[in-house]
């Protein structure tokens, strides 16, 4: 069975990293709203990517221009954490606790 890992994407800010409120990925507004981005299946883990998205940006998510901008931002963030989680995945079957993943996802960009 795969282990689910939730990776939250947000714009870097001075907000507490483990708080409910983070900066909207696209505009930086503080928000607690989360938008499901995508799921990636790996050998050991299933990575569930979620992005902080304020209500204003969420309204625009179905417009192609906004969606492209949003996807680009998500992919850019994910690329930066890829290395870390791929490395973790190669370390046999050592389970990574959610705390570590949380820290990894909050690397400042
Ligand atoms: Zn926003």
Q: For 46-76, write each residue's pLDDT tens digit.
A: 889 999 999 999 999 999 999 999 999 999 9
Task: Tell me how far the alpha carbon of residue 68 lies from the centroid of ligand 1, in angstroms.
Answer: 14
Domain ranges, ordered by start, for the chain: 3-105
Task: Tell me how far the alpha carbon of residue 2 lies from the centroid of ligand 1, in angstroms.
Answer: 32
Task: Tell me how far the alpha carbon of residue 77 lies from the centroid of ligand 1, in angstroms.
Answer: 16
User: The dihedral of CA 14, 107, 18, 54: what is its sign?
Assistant: positive
How far, in Å, CA of 87 to CA of 106, rounded? 17
Looking up tokens 């959610």 gives 98
Tell me if 15 sits within 8 A of 30, measured CB to CB: yes
Contacts of 109 (CB under 8 A, 6+ apart): 12, 76, 77, 80
Task: Tell me how far the alpha carbon of residue 49 lies from the centroid of ligand 1, in angstroms.
Answer: 17
pLDDT at 96: 47
Q: For 82-91, write each residue's pLDDT tens digit.
A: 555 555 554 4
């Amino acid at each position: 069975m795969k282990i689910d890992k939730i990776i939250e994407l947000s714009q870097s800010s001075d907000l507490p990293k483990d708080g409910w409120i983070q900066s909207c990925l696209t505009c930086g507004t503080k928000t607690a709203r989360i938008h499901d981005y995508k799921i990636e299946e790996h050998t050991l883990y299933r990575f569930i990517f979620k992005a902080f998205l304020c209500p204003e940006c969420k309204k625009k998510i179905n417009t192609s221009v906004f969606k492209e901008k949003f996807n680009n931002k998500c992919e850019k963030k994910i690329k930066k954490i890829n290395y870390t989680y791929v490395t973790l995945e190669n370390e046999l079957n050592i389970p990574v606790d959610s705390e570590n993943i949380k820290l990894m996802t909050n690397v400042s960009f």
